[in-house]
Structure 1
C-alpha cells in the first residue's frame, strides 16, 4: 500500500530549491483559511510576520495541531508555536507527517480534544522532543508567558504557571531548562516592581547621600556643611575647633541623611513597590517564581498513548494507576504503618518490560498501541481492586499490594507470569519481563523510604528509570 502524500501549502514566497510538485502557494492568510485545511504549512516570511500567522493558525481548530514550518529566521514565538525550520528534502517532510498522522489517528479515536489538558498533552505527543516554551514578554505582569498554552486555551481562563505546576505534580509534564527566576508582588502577583531606597528610621522616600563628621569631644554627628564656618571646621554643638582627623574628629560610616526626620544611617532600607497595586514589600517577602520550559514526561507520554482510546482507557483505568508523587506518598504511609505496628504486611512488585520502548517505536503507533493494550488486559487480570499501580517510564511498572504477605505475593507473581506469554511472537520477541519484589517489614532496610526503596528495586531490575 503506497504511503499517502500530504497536502502542502506555502504562505508567502516560494521556497527556492524545494521540489514538491503538490505544493500550493498562497500570498495571504485569508486565502489560505478559505481553502480546505492542508496537512503541512510552510511560512516563508520574516519571523515577526510568521509569529503573527502562527498565533492565528494555532488558535483555530483546523490548524491547531498541523505541522507548520518556518522557512526563514525564527523568533521566540516561532519556536514556541511552530515545528522548526523546514526540512530541505521533501521526503523528510513526508516522513515526519506520516509519523504525525499515525499518532493523530489514535487521538481522533478518543475524546482527548475536549479538555484543555488533553489538547496540550496531545500537541506535545504528536511531536518528538516538543516542549512548552516560556517567552519573555513585557506586556504581561509576570514578564513571561507560554504561547502554546495561550493558543490552545480556546478562550478558557487558564493560569499558565498554576496549571503547569499541577501537571508536574501529576507527572504528566516534567521540568526542563530553567529560563529565569522572577520576584512577584505577594499581594497581586505582578512582577512590575520598583526597588527604592527609603529611610531606615521613618521609611520616607526623600533621602540623600551626604558626607558627615563626628566630633570626638562631644560625640555630635552632623552633615559636613554644618561644621564649616569661615573655612574652618567647628563643631556646631560644643564649638570646639576640629583640626586633626583621627584625634579631633572622623568621618562616620553614616553617610545617608533623611530630609524628613533628619536621621543619619549607614545603608538605606530597600523596599519593592508594586507598580500595579502600589503596595510596598520587603524584598524577602516577595514571591519567588522559577520560569522553566516543560516537556512531556514518560507518564504523560504513556497516558497519551493509552487514554485516547476508550478501550485502553477502560483497561488502564481499572489498574488504579497513580502518579509518581501520589504513589510515593501512599507507599511511605504503608512503610510507616508496618514499621510502627509490624502488621498488616504489604508487598511491592516491580516489573520491567525490557526493550519495550524500542519495540513500540519499531511497531509504529497503531500496532504498538494494540500490543500495549493486550499487555494492559493481562495486567488487569492479575491486579486486585485494592492494589495500587504506578508507571515511572514506558518500561517500568510498580504494583503495591496492601495486606499481602509472602504467600499472597507468590500467588500474584504466578498470575503475572501470564503476561510474559505475550512476548512469544517474532516481532516482539525482543521484549522480556523482569520481576522483583519485597515484603515489608521483613525486606525493608533501616531508614529506607519509598523513593529509596523503588530506586533499590529498579537497580535490581536493570537500568534505573
Structure 2
C-alpha cells in the first residue's frame, strides 16, 4: 500500500545547522544518489553548494521533477532549479507532496514525460508558480542561460532562446518578467561586444580629445599648442595676437582630432566590435534580444491535462478550427482595434463563448463519448463561421472568435446560427453543459484606451 506521507531526506555538510533527527541525513551527494530515491529533499547547504547539488540532482532521473528545498541562503541556481525555502512547519510538506503526486498522475493522462518539451512542461505543471528562470552568466557568449532547460535537455542539443520563442508562439509558454535587453553580433550571435569611438571621417581608432582654437581674424582652426609661441597666443596662419576670447578667438566645438587623417570633429563615431568573431557593426544594426523569465500559459496547462498525443487530444480537435495561440490572437485583436480607432472602419466583432462544465462533462463521458461530443461541437462551429474568422482558446471552457469586417448585425446573425450548438448541448449526454455568449462590435462598443488584453478581460468577466 503506498505511503500517505513522503520520505524526506536532508543533504547537509558537517557544519549543518538543521537538526531534525527523525529524518535521514546525508553528508555527501554521491551517498544520497546511491540510496533509494526519496520523495522530498532538503538541502542544508550554503547557496553556491546548494546550487551545484541541485544541478546534479536535476540531471538524475530519480530527482528530475522532485520537490527539493534549499534551507539556507539561495543563489540564482537555487532559484532556477529549486522549490524555494521549505515551510517553517515541516509537517506542511505532506500536503505539498500529495498535491505534487496528484498533479503528476494527471499530467499527460498518466504518460511519462519522455521528450524534452514534455519534460519542461511537466516540471512547470508540477509547480503552481514554476518559472523558467534566466540566469546571468558572463562565461556564455550571450550572457544569459536557462539552467532548467539545460538540466532537462539531458543529452539533447537545444537552443534555449529559439525553443522558448517557438513555445511562446505556440501559446504553450508565456513571457514573464523582463530581465535584460541584449545587443548581439549579426554574424555569430555573441553578446561579447566592444563599443569603441572612431574617427567620424576615416573610422580610424587612433583619435584623441584635443583642445583647439578658432582665430576670428582669418578663421583658422588648429590645435591649441599651434597657437602658443613664447608664452603668447598667436595665430599660426595670420600671426594675429589673440588677447580676448570671444572677440579675438574662441574654442570651437570640435574636441576630437584624428591622428590619421587630421580631421577635427565634435562627436566620434561608434563601432561595435565582436570579441568572438571580430566583425565590426554599426550599433543600430545589431540584433536586439529581450531576456525574460517564462511561465506555463493556459494553453500549456490544457496540453498537460489533456495529453500530448494529437490523435486523442481535445485541444487538437479544436485546432481544426482556425485556432491561434493566445498571444497571436491578442496581437491581431489589438491591431484591429488600432485600425478602427484611427480610421473608424472597417468594423469588426468579437464573440466570446463559454462552455460551462465542459471539462467535467468530458471526464464523466469518458474517452470515446467525450471525443464524439467535441467532434460534434467543432463541426457545428465550423458550419456557423467563415474561413476568415479566427479562434483562440484561453481555457478549457473559453473560446474566442474574431470576426473581421463584421458589424453588430453580422454578430447578431452569427449568434442565431450558434443557437444550433446550444441545441446540441441539450442532449442527454451533455445536458450539464451550458453555453454562454458575450459579443462586442467596434467601433461603437470600443472604450477609450482599451486594448485587446483589457477587452478580453472585460468580456471574460461578463461570461463568469
TM-score normalized with structure 2 length: 0.81
CA apart distance, 1:401: 10
Deviations 1:61-84 (A, max 9, x none): 211101111111100000100011
Residues 77 and 71 of structure 1: CA distance in aligned 2, closer, same or farther (over 3 Å)? same
Q: Tell me the distance in 2 between the aligned counterparts of 1:88 and 1:370.
A: 39
Residues 457 and 256 of structure 1: CA distance in aligned 2, closer, same or farther (over 3 Å)? closer
Q: Secondary structure of 1:113's partner? A: coil
Report if aligned partners of 1:18, 1:89 keep a CA contact under 8 Å in 2: no
Q: Secondary structure of 2:352's partner? A: strand
Q: Tell me the distance in 2 between the aligned counterparts of 1:85 and 1:48.
A: 15
Q: How does 1:166-177 map to 2 (within 5 A)?
A: 166-177=166-177
1:411: which partner in 2?
420
Report if aligned partners of 1:210, 1:255 keep a CA contact under 8 Å in 2: yes
Q: Secondary structure of 2:41's partner? A: strand
Report if aligned partners of 2:380, 2:420 keep a CA contact under 8 Å in 1: no
Q: Tell me the distance in 1 between the aligned counterparts of 2:56 and 2:162.
A: 25
Q: Secondary structure of 2:425's partner? A: helix
CA apart distance, 1:331: 9.2
Q: Tell me the distance in 1 between the aligned counterparts of 2:298 and 2:102.
A: 19
CA apart distance, 1:353: 5.0
RMSD: 3.8
Q: Secondary structure of 1:9's partner? A: strand
2:344: which partner in 1?
none
Say if 2:373 is the partner of 1:378.
yes
Deviations 1:237-295 (A, max 9, x none): 12222222222211111111111111111111111111111112221111121111111
Report if aligned partners of 1:15, 1:44 keep a CA contact under 8 Å in 2: yes
2:226: which partner in 1?
226
Report if aligned partners of 1:437, 1:457 keep a CA contact under 8 Å in 2: no
Q: Tell me the distance in 2 between the aligned counterparts of 1:43 and 1:371.
A: 45
Report if aligned partners of 1:213, 1:252 keep a CA contact under 8 Å in 2: yes
Q: Secondary structure of 1:62's partner? A: helix
1:250: which partner in 2?
250
Q: Tell me the distance in 2 between the aligned counterparts of 1:144 and 1:304.
A: 28
Say if 2:279 is the partner of 1:279.
yes
Residues 434 and 415 of structure 1: CA distance in aligned 2, closer, same or farther (over 3 Å)? closer
Report if aligned partners of 1:258, 1:264 keep a CA contact under 8 Å in 2: yes
Deviations 1:4-41 (A, max 9, x none): 1212121115664547x3x2211111111111221111
CA apart distance, 1:393: 2.8
CA apart distance, 1:314: 3.6
Q: Secondary structure of 1:462's partner? A: helix
Residues 377 and 63 of structure 1: CA distance in aligned 2, closer, same or farther (over 3 Å)? farther
Question: Could you tell which deviates more after superposition, 147-156 or 242-251?
Answer: 242-251
Report if aligned partners of 1:10, 1:25 keep a CA contact under 8 Å in 2: yes
TM-score normalized with structure 1 length: 0.81
Q: Tell me the distance in 1 between the aligned counterparts of 2:140 and 2:334.
A: 41
2:159: which partner in 1?
159
2:386: which partner in 1?
none
Say if 2:388 is the partner of 1:393.
no
Report if aligned partners of 1:212, 1:251 keep a CA contact under 8 Å in 2: yes
Extract unaligned runs of 5+ from structure 1.
336-345, 361-366, 424-431
2:198: which partner in 1?
198
1:25: which partner in 2?
25
Report if aligned partners of 2:317, 2:374 keep a CA contact under 8 Å in 1: no
Q: Tell me the distance in 2 between the aligned counterparts of 1:234 and 1:334.
A: 69
Q: Secondary structure of 1:114's partner? A: coil
2:150: which partner in 1?
150
Q: Tell me the distance in 2 between the aligned counterparts of 1:153 and 1:242.
A: 74
Q: Tell me the distance in 1 between the aligned counterparts of 2:431 and 2:41.
A: 41
Residues 207 and 50 of structure 1: CA distance in aligned 2, closer, same or farther (over 3 Å)? same
Report if aligned partners of 1:375, 1:419 keep a CA contact under 8 Å in 2: no
CA apart distance, 1:378: 3.2
Residues 405 and 352 of structure 1: CA distance in aligned 2, closer, same or farther (over 3 Å)? closer
Q: How many residue pairs align between the two structures?
A: 431
Deviations 1:371-394 (A, max 9, x none): 897876533332218838532134
1:296: which partner in 2?
296
Report if aligned partners of 1:319, 1:389 keep a CA contact under 8 Å in 2: no
Q: Secondary structure of 2:226's partner? A: helix
Q: Tell me the distance in 2 between the aligned counterparts of 1:210 and 1:231.
A: 19
Say if 2:457 is the partner of 1:462.
no
Deviations 1:170-207 (A, max 9, x none): 11111111111121112211111111111111111111
1:186: which partner in 2?
186
